[in-house]
Amino acid sequence: DGGITQSPKYLFRKEGQNVTLSCEQNLNHDAMYWYRQDPGQGLRLIYYSQIVNDFQKGDIAEGYSVSREKKESFPLTVTSAQKNPTAFYLCASRGAGGRTGELFFGEGSRLTVL
């Protein structure tokens, strides 16, 4: 079954703790993205990666970190520096070629900070 897998679906964290969200894809896509989805604000870009071992900050990167050591994987760490981490997080990937704007999304991870 091809696609993007995010885990965990639900995660609870105490204040002051870091947490890592997993994103794996088997679509052989080069580009991967992390978004934060809040009600009424649409999708806001946290980080993106066009190729292995390279990534760029998005609009709201503060308090987050990523790595891209493998093409298939793009984990997101929500650090204790993120002031308002409770949110729904979406991972996406994009293939190369003509369909430049078509993103494929995971089911999302909902993080709640207690």
Partner 1 sequence: AQRVTQPEKLLSVFKGAPVELKCNYSYSGSPELFWYVQYSRQRLQLLLRHISRESIKGFTADLNKGETSFHLKKPFAQEEDSAMYYCALYSNYQLIWGAGTKLIIKP
Q: Quick one: which of 92, 83, 35 has its CA closest to 63?
A: 83
Segment interacting with partner 1 (CB under 8 A) among 17-25, 37-45, 66-74, 76-84: 37-45
Entry field: residues in the chain: 114
Residue 33, strand partner residues: 48, 92
When binding is defined by CB under 8 A, the residue of 9, 12, 20, 102 that contacts partner 1 is: 102
CA gap 33, 42 in Å, rounded: 15
Q: Is the Cβ of residue 14 or residue 99 nearer to partner 1 in the bound state?
A: 99
Q: Which is nearer to partner 1, 18 or 102 (CB)?
A: 102
Task: Scan for tokens 């969200």, then name that residue.
Answer: 21
Q: By the criterion CB under 8 A, which residues form the site for partner 1?
A: 31, 33, 40-45, 48, 50, 58, 90, 92, 99-103, 105-108
